[in-house]
């Protein structure tokens, strides 16, 4: 089953931490690549030990990878890394600018030994005045207009998820796939770069162009004038909330008919979306009062039946019980550091009517070190010596995954 995966013949060496680099590696790993995560001895990636909002980083972005724990400050550890990279298709890294170059593992240093290597650097900024700055998702959201658009005026607010880190990883994976395709005709690898700031600006571009087209600055989302009159969150009688959108004249007629709003349907001033937007403050109190007397379930049932865009307002922890997310193949079980098994959303991609599942659980630090060393030609005695000297860190492997969970999930 593993051989059926699209990237089954690709080996990736990953030098990464936090989210941006690991998310790129996760995409490639879920698609079948052999992603080898290089971790420092003896404790591994510091991301493993983050608390608070960082507690979910490592278990979310490191399944389907093998862990090789190395002391890169030792000549023998560096020799292992170089031998591995010489046989790799791709190298990814998201450390501070110049970090791997200082170790002798920059692109120009590695290219002579592996001309076909795709070397992907995931950074804060692409070429320009800022390229040597360190960055975080918050930094680029604040400086790039996204936080301004998300929060109320005067209170910039970062998006509630690591949108630039994750999308930066996605664009890196896209660039890697393009470079691999180009290598088929040229035989040559190349340097690929992805960056947080440029990713953020790709997200904000629609607001920049809104100003270019209209001459009016885009207002923060809490203050925006919506393109549609009914496009809002409503309170319900049971203390819940729902989002409801009415985005066409046909939907408006269905909405008024099903929710017994004959007075609004017969009002000629409300027959077009433009008219409804202009009259929004006149009829929205009526809608809010109506929904405040209805249950969330009744609103959702009617909206789904007549084909309106709708959504219950939920929290992340509620999603473990979502029926669509629990459809076969939509979630993947991983083992958390405390030994508990938890489901995590699968890669949001379907190919040949299948979802991509789990081949390898979240690795322990150095879980695959000995295995990878053997693949590189080290014998048992050499591996034992490397471990004894702290060059190589190993851990006991986990139990094998049942066949039904491995490889892909079929609809």
DSSP string, 314-332: --GGGGGG-TTTTSTTSEE
Please report, in angstroms and rounded to a whole number, the separation of the first and last CA atoms in the chain.
15
Q: Which of 150-159, 167-176, 220-229, 366-375 is least confident?
A: 220-229
Give the model confidence (pLDDT) of 221-265 as tens digits: 888 778 899 999 999 999 999 999 999 999 999 999 999 999 999
CATH architecture of 2-203+328-410: 3-Layer(aba) Sandwich (3.40)
Q: Is 407's pLDDT higher than 60?
A: no
DSSP state of 359: S
Q: CA dihedral in degrees (288, 292, 294, 298; nearest 10)? A: 60
Give the model confidence (pLDDT) of 267-307 as tens digits: 999 999 999 999 999 999 999 999 999 999 999 999 999 99
Contact criterion met (CB below 8 Å) for 369 and 38: no
Q: Is 161's pLDDT higher than 70?
A: yes
- CATH number, span 226-315: 3.30.1540.10
In whole angstroms, what is the distance from residue 12 CA to residue 91 CA?
6
pLDDT value, residue 157: 97
pLDDT value, residue 3: 61
Q: Is 408's pLDDT higher than 90?
A: no
pLDDT value, residue 286: 98
Please report which confidence band the pLDDT of residue 341 belongs to, taking 50, 70 and 90 as the band edges: very high
Q: Is 406's pLDDT higher than 90?
A: no
Share of the chain above pLDDT 70, in %: 95
Contact criterion met (CB below 8 Å) for 143 and 129: no
Pairing outcome for strands 34-40 and 11-15? parallel
Burial of 53 from C-beta contacts in 10 A (0-12 / 13-18 / 19+): exposed
Share of the chain above pLDDT 90, in %: 92
Contact criterion met (CB below 8 Å) for 93 and 101: no
CA 27 centroid distance within chain: 9
341: its two tokens: 């098994």
Between 90 and 397, where is the model more confident? 90
In whole angstroms, what is the distance from residue 321 CA to residue 328 CA?
13
Degrees to nearest 5, angle at CA 193 with 38 and 408: 60
Cis peptide before 318 (omega within 30 of 0): no
pTM of the model: 0.92
Contact criterion met (CB below 8 Å) for 226 and 278: no
pLDDT value, residue 149: 97
Mean pLDDT (the chain) is 94
Please report which confidence band the pLDDT of residue 8 belongs to, taking 50, 70 and 90 as the band edges: very high
The whole-number average pLDDT for the span 170-183 is 98
- The per-residue DSSP string of 231-274 comes to EEEEE-TTS-EEEEEE-SHHHHHHHHHHTT-HHHHT-GGGSSHH
pLDDT value, residue 404: 41
Q: Which of 61-75, 91-105, 384-398 is least confident?
A: 384-398
The whole-number average pLDDT for the span 150-178 is 97
Give the model confidence (pLDDT) of 97-132 as tens digits: 999 999 999 999 999 999 999 999 999 999 999 999
Whether the domain at 2-203+328-410 and the domain at 226-315 fall into the same CATH topology: no
DSSP state of 136: -
Q: Distances from the Cα of 48 to the Cαs of 21, 55, 60, 337, 364, in angstroms?
A: 14, 8, 11, 9, 10
In whole angstroms, what is the distance from residue 87 CA to residue 105 CA?
14
Q: Where are the domains of the chain?
A: 2-203+328-410, 226-315
């Amino acid at each position: 089953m593993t051989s059926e995966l699209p990237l089954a013949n690709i080996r990736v060496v990953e030098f990464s931490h936090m989210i941006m680099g690991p998310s790129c590696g996760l995409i490639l790993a879920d698609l079948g690549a052999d992603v080898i995560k290089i971790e420092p001895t003896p404790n591994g990636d510091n991301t493993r030990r983050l608390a608070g909002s960082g507690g979910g980083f490592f278990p979310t972005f490191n399944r389907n990878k093998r862990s090789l724990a190395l002391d890169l400050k030792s000549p023998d550890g560096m020799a292992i890394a170089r031998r591995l990279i010489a046989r790799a298709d791709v190298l990814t890294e998201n450390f501070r600018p110049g970090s791997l170059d200082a170790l002798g593992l920059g692109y120009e240093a590695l290219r002579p030994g592996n001309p076909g290597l795709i070397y992907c650097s995931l950074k804060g900024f692409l070429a320009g005045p800022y390229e040597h700055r360190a960055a975080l998702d918050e930094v680029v959201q604040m400086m790039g207009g996204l936080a301004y658009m998300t929060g109320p005026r005067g209170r910039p607010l970062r998006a509630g998820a690591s949108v630039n880190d994750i999308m930066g990883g996605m664009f890196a994976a896209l660039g890697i796939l393009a470079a691999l395709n180009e290598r088929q005709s040229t035989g040559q690898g190349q340097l690929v770069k992805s960056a947080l700031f440029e990713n953020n600006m790709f997200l904000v571009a629609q607001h920049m162009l809104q100003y270019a087209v209209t001459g009016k600055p885009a207002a923060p989302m809490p203050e925006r004038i919506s393109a549609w009159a009914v496009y809002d969150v409503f309170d319900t009688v049971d203390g819940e909330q729902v989002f409801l959108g009415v985005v066409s004249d046909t939907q408006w007629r269905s909405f008024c008919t099903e929710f017994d709003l004959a007075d609004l349907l017969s009002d000629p001033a409300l027959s077009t979306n433009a008219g409804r937007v202009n009259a929004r403050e006149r009829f929205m109190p009526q809608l809010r009062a109506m929904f405040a007397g209805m249950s969330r379930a009744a609103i959702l049932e009617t909206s789904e039946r007549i084909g309106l865009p709708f959504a219950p307002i939920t929290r992340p922890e509620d999603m473990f019980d979502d029926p669509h997310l629990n459809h076969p193949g939509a979630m993947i079980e991983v083992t958390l550091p405390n030994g508990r098994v938890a489901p995590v959303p699968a890669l949001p991609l379907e190919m040949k009517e299948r979802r991509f599942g789990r081949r390898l659980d979240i690795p322990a630090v150095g879980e695959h070190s000995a295995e990878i060393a053997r693949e590189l030609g080290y014998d048992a005695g050499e591996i034992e010596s490397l471990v004894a000297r702290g060059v190589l860190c190993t851990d006991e492997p986990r139990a094998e995954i049942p066949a039904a969970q491995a490889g892909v999930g079929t609809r």
